[in-house]
Amino acid sequence: MRSFFNKVIIMGNISQKPELKYTKSKSAVCKIYVAVEDYFSRDVSFFPVVIWGEKAKKYNKKFHKGDSVLIEGKLKRRRYEYNNEKRYITEIIASKIQLVSE
Protein backbone atom coordinates (compact mmCIF):
# COMPACT_ATOMS: atom_id res chain seq x y z
CA MET A 1 0.00 0.00 0.00
CA ARG A 2 1.35 3.39 -0.98
CA SER A 3 1.24 6.42 1.24
CA PHE A 4 0.70 9.80 -0.34
CA PHE A 5 1.33 13.08 1.38
CA ASN A 6 -0.42 16.36 0.77
CA LYS A 7 2.15 19.03 1.54
CA VAL A 8 2.94 22.31 -0.17
CA ILE A 9 5.50 25.01 0.60
CA ILE A 10 5.42 28.42 -1.08
CA MET A 11 7.25 31.68 -0.59
CA GLY A 12 6.00 34.96 -1.99
CA ASN A 13 4.42 38.30 -1.23
CA ILE A 14 0.97 38.98 0.19
CA SER A 15 -0.91 40.60 -2.69
CA GLN A 16 -3.81 42.23 -0.82
CA LYS A 17 -5.00 43.05 2.68
CA PRO A 18 -5.81 39.93 4.76
CA GLU A 19 -9.52 39.15 5.24
CA LEU A 20 -10.68 37.98 8.69
CA LYS A 21 -14.12 36.36 8.95
CA TYR A 22 -15.96 34.10 11.35
CA THR A 23 -17.88 30.93 10.56
CA LYS A 24 -21.40 30.28 11.87
CA SER A 25 -19.78 28.34 14.72
CA LYS A 26 -17.63 31.42 15.53
CA SER A 27 -14.32 29.97 14.32
CA ALA A 28 -11.91 32.62 13.04
CA VAL A 29 -10.65 32.24 9.47
CA CYS A 30 -8.20 34.54 7.71
CA LYS A 31 -7.63 34.45 3.96
CA ILE A 32 -4.59 35.89 2.25
CA TYR A 33 -3.42 35.73 -1.35
CA VAL A 34 0.25 35.05 -1.96
CA ALA A 35 1.92 36.07 -5.23
CA VAL A 36 4.68 33.65 -6.22
CA GLU A 37 7.02 34.44 -9.10
CA ASP A 38 8.40 31.57 -11.17
CA TYR A 39 12.19 31.88 -11.16
CA PHE A 40 12.67 30.93 -14.81
CA SER A 41 9.66 32.31 -16.69
CA ARG A 42 8.99 35.30 -14.40
CA ASP A 43 5.27 34.42 -14.48
CA VAL A 44 3.37 35.22 -11.29
CA SER A 45 0.80 32.89 -9.76
CA PHE A 46 -1.60 33.93 -6.99
CA PHE A 47 -2.47 31.33 -4.36
CA PRO A 48 -5.30 31.65 -1.81
CA VAL A 49 -4.09 30.70 1.67
CA VAL A 50 -6.48 29.97 4.55
CA ILE A 51 -5.47 30.32 8.22
CA TRP A 52 -7.76 28.99 10.98
CA GLY A 53 -8.35 29.68 14.68
CA GLU A 54 -6.16 31.80 16.92
CA LYS A 55 -3.50 31.97 14.21
CA ALA A 56 -6.09 33.63 11.96
CA LYS A 57 -6.62 36.47 14.45
CA LYS A 58 -2.87 36.84 15.08
CA TYR A 59 -1.81 36.94 11.45
CA ASN A 60 -4.69 39.16 10.36
CA LYS A 61 -3.15 41.88 12.56
CA LYS A 62 0.47 40.99 11.76
CA PHE A 63 0.33 40.64 7.96
CA HIS A 64 0.15 43.49 5.47
CA LYS A 65 0.01 43.77 1.71
CA GLY A 66 3.54 43.36 0.31
CA ASP A 67 4.92 41.29 3.21
CA SER A 68 7.12 38.36 2.20
CA VAL A 69 5.94 35.09 3.70
CA LEU A 70 6.90 31.43 3.79
CA ILE A 71 3.84 29.17 3.98
CA GLU A 72 3.69 25.45 4.67
CA GLY A 73 0.39 23.63 4.48
CA LYS A 74 -1.80 21.29 2.48
CA LEU A 75 -3.92 21.66 -0.64
CA LYS A 76 -7.67 21.49 -0.20
CA ARG A 77 -10.33 21.64 -2.88
CA ARG A 78 -13.80 22.73 -1.86
CA ARG A 79 -17.12 23.29 -3.59
CA TYR A 80 -19.42 26.26 -3.15
CA GLU A 81 -22.42 27.75 -4.91
CA TYR A 82 -22.62 31.15 -6.54
CA ASN A 83 -25.83 32.23 -8.28
CA ASN A 84 -27.10 28.62 -8.12
CA GLU A 85 -23.98 27.44 -9.95
CA LYS A 86 -21.54 24.92 -8.43
CA ARG A 87 -17.98 26.18 -8.35
CA TYR A 88 -14.70 24.79 -7.05
CA ILE A 89 -11.64 26.40 -5.55
CA THR A 90 -8.28 24.96 -4.50
CA GLU A 91 -6.72 26.63 -1.46
CA ILE A 92 -3.68 26.14 0.74
CA ILE A 93 -4.62 25.41 4.35
CA ALA A 94 -1.69 26.85 6.30
CA SER A 95 -0.05 24.90 9.10
CA LYS A 96 3.16 26.96 9.45
CA ILE A 97 3.60 30.62 8.56
CA GLN A 98 6.68 32.80 8.74
CA LEU A 99 7.42 36.37 7.77
CA VAL A 100 10.57 36.54 5.64
CA SER A 101 13.03 39.43 5.87
CA GLU A 102 14.36 40.66 2.56
Q: What is the pLDDT of residue 1?
A: 66
24-37 pLDDT, tens per residue? Answer: 999 999 999 999 99
Quote the DSSP letter at residue 51. E
Buried b (16+ CB within 10 A) or exposed e, 50-88: bbeeebbeebbeebeeebebebebeeeeeeeeeeeeeee
pTM: 0.86
> Reduced to 3 states, what is the DSSP secondary structure of residue 58?
helix
Q: What is the pLDDT of residue 39?
A: 86
Q: What is the pLDDT of residue 102?
A: 60
Total residue length of the chain: 102
Q: Could you say which of 2.30.40.10, 2.40.50.140, 3.10.110.10, 3.40.50.300 is the CATH number of the domain covering 8-99?
A: 2.40.50.140
41-95 pLDDT, tens per residue? Answer: 999 999 999 999 999 999 999 999 999 999 999 999 999 899 999 999 999 999 9
Phi, psi of 56 (to 5 degrees): -60, -45
Q: What is the pLDDT of residue 47?
A: 97
